[in-house]
Amino acid sequence: MIQEAKKIWMDGKMVGWKDANVHVLTHTLHYGVGVFEGIRCYRGVKGSAIFRLKEHVDRLFTGTHICQIEIPFSREEITRAIIDTIKVNGLEECYIRPLVYLGYGAMGIFPRDNPVKVSIATWPWGAYLGEEGLKNGIRVKVSSYTRHHVNISMTKAKVCGNYVNSQLAKREVIASGFDEALLLDTEGYISEGSGENIFTVRNGIIKTTPLTSILEGITRDSVIRIAGDEGIKVVEERFTRDELYISDEAFFTGTAAEITPIKEVDHRMIGPGKPGPVTKRLQSIFFDIVNGKIDRYSHWLTYL
Ligand code: PPE
């Protein structure tokens, strides 16, 4: 169960957690065209700070641009509202969920001039794939469901409806006893997890899928930059599931999942079946950055 906070920001007002309701004929509830974000705020050594807030707000706006939804607030107003929501809830560390959705008005798939609604919720959210997974790695299975085709779903936008595919995949692999689903693209190459981007390490080279048919993960971008700064080569190139099977290391990245090591894929151990040195090094730098311990990356943090 979600851990409740006090208030949720809805269309410019702070509303009590239990009163943050919508009409059952809310357009997005039926048809899935809405755009959301997932952001984390960390309690670091210099106080609470939001990780890469600008990039997340930008992606909310580019996502709605793709969906032809006009947010009735500016980027500055949304940024301010995110900070205010964390503060009003007195949270030092939390997950932040902005959502832009189409409200009550016309029914039918063409939403006409239904109002564009915005909400921002915050709640404490621990390790997405479990503390144990974060530390020792998770068990992953390639799903029988294929990831979005680039001309069917718009993967550069974090569209609510895109997550039907993620949920089908996740339910399938959980039922088989795995921790997370990995999806292949329409041509059979690795694309991404149900809510994460993926990286492999082989012979000291890091590889991740190109941006063609995946969400442009902000954690993915952070890892590429950190690796570059550490002098580790990163290649953005398509790869197959058998290349993943024989990689030395693999890990998922995401705001919720952070950097989660993968210890097994389809019953095959990855490397020795525990987090490898590159994964551990990147994970440790990442957590130092989000916790405000490395000045070089302080521009990625917005202090409350
Ligand atoms: N791919 C998908 C499909 C995805 O949903 C996410 C984030 C990512 C990649 C990584 O993107 P980024 O967070 O910018 O590094 N998934 C969000 C939702 C998870 C959920 O269960 O809800 C998240 O991590 O917040």
Residue with tokens 């953005």: 236
3-state secondary structure 228-269: HHCCCCEEECCCCHHHHHCCCEEEEEECCCEEEEEEEECCEE
Per-residue pLDDT, 107: 97
CA of 106 to the centre of ligand 1 (A): 30
For the Cβ of 218 lying below 6 angstroms from any atom of ligand 1, the answer is yes
3-state secondary structure 117-130: EEEEEEECCCCCCC
Catalytic site residue 158?
A: yes
Instruction: Establish how many alpha carbons lie within 13 A of residue 192's alpha carbon, considering only the half-sphere containing its beta carbon.
Output: 26
CA of 180 to the centre of ligand 1 (A): 13
Which residues neighbour 40 within 8 Å (Cβ) at sequence distance 6 or greater? 50, 51, 94, 95, 96, 125, 255, 256, 258, 290
For the Cβ of 63 lying below 6 angstroms from any atom of ligand 1, the answer is no
Per-residue pLDDT, 108: 97
30, 109 contact by CB (below 8 A): no
Q: Is 69 exposed, middle or buried (0-12, 13-18, 19+ CB in 10 A)?
A: buried
Tens of pLDDT, residue by residue over 123-136, are: 999 999 999 999 99
Best residue among 255, 286, 289 to mutate for probing ligand 1's pocket (most ligand atoms within 8 Å of CB) is 255
Residue with tokens 């959705």: 101
Per-residue pLDDT, 112: 86
Q: State how far the Cα of 47 lies from the Cα of 87, in Å rounded to an integer.
A: 13
For the Cβ of 219 lying below 6 angstroms from any atom of ligand 1, the answer is yes
166, 128 contact by CB (below 8 A): no
Per-residue pLDDT, 154: 95
19, 4 contact by CB (below 8 A): no
Which residues neighbour 80 within 8 Å (Cβ) at sequence distance 6 or greater? none
Q: Which of 7, 117, 158, 263 is catalytic?
A: 158
Tens of pLDDT, residue by residue over 171-218, are: 999 999 999 999 999 999 999 999 999 999 999 999 999 999 999 999
For the Cβ of 215 lying below 6 angstroms from any atom of ligand 1, the answer is yes
- In Å, what is the CA distance from 139 to each residue of 101, 181, 203, 264? 34, 9, 22, 5
CA of 169 to the centre of ligand 1 (A): 15
Question: What does pLDDT average to over the chain?
Answer: 98
Residue with tokens 């809830």: 89
127, 50 contact by CB (below 8 A): no
Q: Which residues of the chain have pLDDT under 70?
A: none
